Structure 1
């Protein structure tokens, strides 16, 4: 399972398999494909930090802030290198999707209708990577500013809503949770 994803996305040296306690906490809330990633290569940066798979507990507060309420069947599982938050929604016993909170533009969008589709289609499509992960800008920022640490992202300064631009000279590094909260407060 997930052979294409695993052949394209290389886990970083910071990746750590999830604890059994974390697996137990979320195994009935997320699909087996995500649990497989958590058990094998684990939480951490992939492809130099283009995307980071995170312990949901670390980003639940951020998700609830952006949604305006707690939703038990929504699970944050990844961040982009620019602080966007990806979360999984179990809608019914058979319906699911993956959504993104685009913090820069205060938009919540459904990206794809399955976690397997997220791994095997969306993340492998070059156009989708440039739209949702800003891959070209990420590569430029990585080359200029170096690698990102755990939960660290490239931040737009000023934020895009206040005149920043999706260009290298507007980027700094910062903590993802703090950045998500700051952008939320500044654009509310």
Structure 2
């Protein structure tokens, strides 16, 4: 059975799953240039990620939402890095990266049981700080990403314009980072913000953290 039919059977019509995340879309509208997920990508994650997120991928796509505050990411590109941070020796499809902040904080979905228990957790690659945001994917998108303190503390909403002025606006799969890295003595100031490939820099930060 195709993923589109499975979404239809589960929610009644193709648009219904993404409608569950409508508060998120209203608060953080999709930017231009998003890349919708392919049928292969949707099928690959159909048994591992909630249908509302898959529908969001299908109907809008990977890329920036909310004036580049948050980037929805292709797990194919980031999952090996996340599993490295989590010290997984083998693939763990119950831990999948789904979003990225401008500074590279990874937000990942955790399937905690077959009974529907779940959460969305975060990992800061600059400091290795990690934790749970909320115990529901819908709550993460519709509520947690709407709270001013979370936008300031985790998504750098107050510094985003200054970082863009300093290092240039982000393109897809890019992030801002400290140069030098905090683990190499960087001071974390705006004067030392740089911009580059998120997959490449996340791998560099992982190597620094585990060396």
Task: Output the TM-score relative to the length of structure 1.
Answer: 0.93
- 1:96·1:113 contact (CA, 8 Å) conserved in 2? yes
Quick check: 1:113 aligned with 2:155?
Answer: no
- The Cα RMSD (Å) is 1.4
Match in the other structure for 1:85? 106
Gap regions ≥5 residues in structure 2? 1-19
Larger relative contact order (CA 8 Å, sep ≥ 6): 1
Quick check: 1:127 aligned with 2:146?
Answer: no
1:47 positional shift: 2.4
Match in the other structure for 2:15? none
Within 5 Å, give how 1:49-64 maps onto structure 2.
Answer: 49-64=68-83
**Structure 1 stretch displaced more, 50-59 or 178-187:** 178-187
- 1:137·1:166 contact (CA, 8 Å) conserved in 2? no
Quick check: 1:101 aligned with 2:120?
Answer: no
Match of 1:155 among 164, 177, 180: 177
Return the alpha-carbon distance in structure 2 between the equivalents of residues 168 and 107 of structure 1: 20
1:132 positional shift: 1.2
Quick check: 1:176 aligned with 2:198?
Answer: yes
Quick check: 1:26 aligned with 2:45?
Answer: yes
Gap regions ≥5 residues in structure 1? none
1:90-119 per-residue CA deviation (whole Å, 9 max, x = no partner) reads 111220000111111112211110100110
Quick check: 1:13 aligned with 2:32?
Answer: yes
- Greater C-alpha Rg: 2
Task: Output the TM-score relative to the length of structure 2.
Answer: 0.84
- 1:50·1:80 contact (CA, 8 Å) conserved in 2? yes
- 2:177·2:195 contact (CA, 8 Å) conserved in 1? yes
